[in-house]
Amino acid sequence: MRYDIAIVGSGPGGLSAAINAKIRNKSLILFGNENLSNKLEKAPEINNYLGFNEISGEDLIEKFKEHINSMGIEISKHKITNIYAMGDYFALMSGENMFEAKTVILATGVQYGKAIKGEEEYLGRGVGYCATCDAPLYKEKTVAVIGYNSEAEEEANFLNELASKTYFIPMYKNEGLMRGNNLDEAIEVINERPIEIKGETLVNQVAFKNLEIDVDGVFVIKDSASPKTLVPGLETEGSHVKVDINMKTNIPGCFACGDCAGKPYSYIKAAGQGQIAAINAVSYIDQLKLKEKNNN
Ligand SMILES: Cc1cc2nc3c(=O)[nH]c(=O)nc-3n(C[C@H](O)[C@H](O)[C@H](O)COP(=O)(O)OP(=O)(O)OC[C@H]3O[C@@H](n4cnc5c(N)ncnc54)[C@H](O)[C@@H]3O)c2cc1C
């Protein structure tokens, strides 16, 4: 099936894009997480979302879920690793799965903090962002998972079923993990910050201040990857996608909204931009249809 709109990200930007696309009767697929967004979940109190003063992030998640459920919008839990512009449609990859859509709305949020030295250099040469997609490549090999959120624990467990040795390097507060609640006991936890991912042609080491570990692969599991690595050819400004006032990127049919499209980082701005992106994706589809009609 080729969807009208594929939306990548289930924070306020992606959800708002989804409800606006649905209202305009377009077929859509929305990629994201069950908890919608870690950044929503973590907010203790929100005072700047119109109509919801002093609401907690968790309560706002419930409101958002009620809204999308009432409109029959589902979230596909596939992590999208690459998006290719194919001319009149986009191919979205998640491991061996491919999804097709006429337009794409990027609502991936941003990962706070810099990439680790070597992370971007070795991307695709031993460094990956989706363990469930690439795990079969590391059967009987040694892997390290650098996890920025607790979902990374699941990915490490999954990898460990195939790999001969798995290291887990948590980059977040992890009292639960320290108690050994979620992680497979066979996985070795290194509670130190990695300073460099090293290699030659391919990755072969992760370096810490006083330690180096030999590895065949490294998975960096974070909320969102750099948009440039996600969509080849996408124009960016620093870590943000370059957009115009209509949320259009330099690639026809590809739109962006929310934190990934620039500051300020805010729920209501993300939701507003999600609406603009969806409306413009809809008119792009209508123009495509008109062109097809005129050509026939
Ligand atoms: C602790 C904290 C408190 C905050 N408090 C406030 C506040 O009070 N008021 C305010 O306005 N803002 C606040 N913010 C900022 C706010 O969280 C962000 O501006 C907002 O969440 C941005 O929404 P978004 O839709 O752009 O992206 P996000 O909310 O970051 O959502 C992006 C989603 O897309 C998913 N995703 C990313 N890449 C992929 C992929 N390749 N495939 C599938 N899914 C993917 C991510 O996992 C994530 O679920 C706070 C942030 C934090 C961290």
**Domains along the chain with CATH numbers:** 2-111+224-295 (3.50.50.60), 127-221 (3.50.50.60)
CB 109 within 8 A of CB 9: yes
Q: Which of 222, 265, 269, 273 to mutate to test the pocket of ligand 1 (most atoms within 8 A of CB)?
A: 265
Asked whether 39 lines ligand 1 (CB < 6 A), one says yes
Ligand 1, atom 15: closest residue by C-alpha: 266
String of DSSP letters for 227-264: HHHHSTT--EETTEE---TT-B-SSTTEEE-GGGG-SS
Query: What distance in angstroms lies between residue 49's CA and the mean position of ligand 1's atoms?
Result: 14
Residue 243 in contact with residue 270, Cβ under 8 Å?
Answer: no
Higher pLDDT, 27 or 112: 27
Which atom, in ligand 1's list, is nearest to the CA of 264?
19
Q: How far apart are CA 123 and CA 116, in angstroms?
A: 11
Mutate to test the pocket of ligand 1, among 10, 39, 75, 94 (most ligand atoms within 8 A of CB): 39
What whole-number percentage of the chain has pLDDT above 70? 98
pTM of the model: 0.89
Q: Does the pLDDT of residue 257 top 80, yes or no?
A: yes
Give the list of residues 6+ apart from residue 193 with CB closer than 8 angstroms, or none: 171, 208, 209
For ligand 1, the distance from its centroid to the CA atom of residue 202, given in whole angstroms, is 32
pLDDT tens digits, residue range 109-148?
998 778 899 998 898 899 988 887 788 889 999 999 999 9
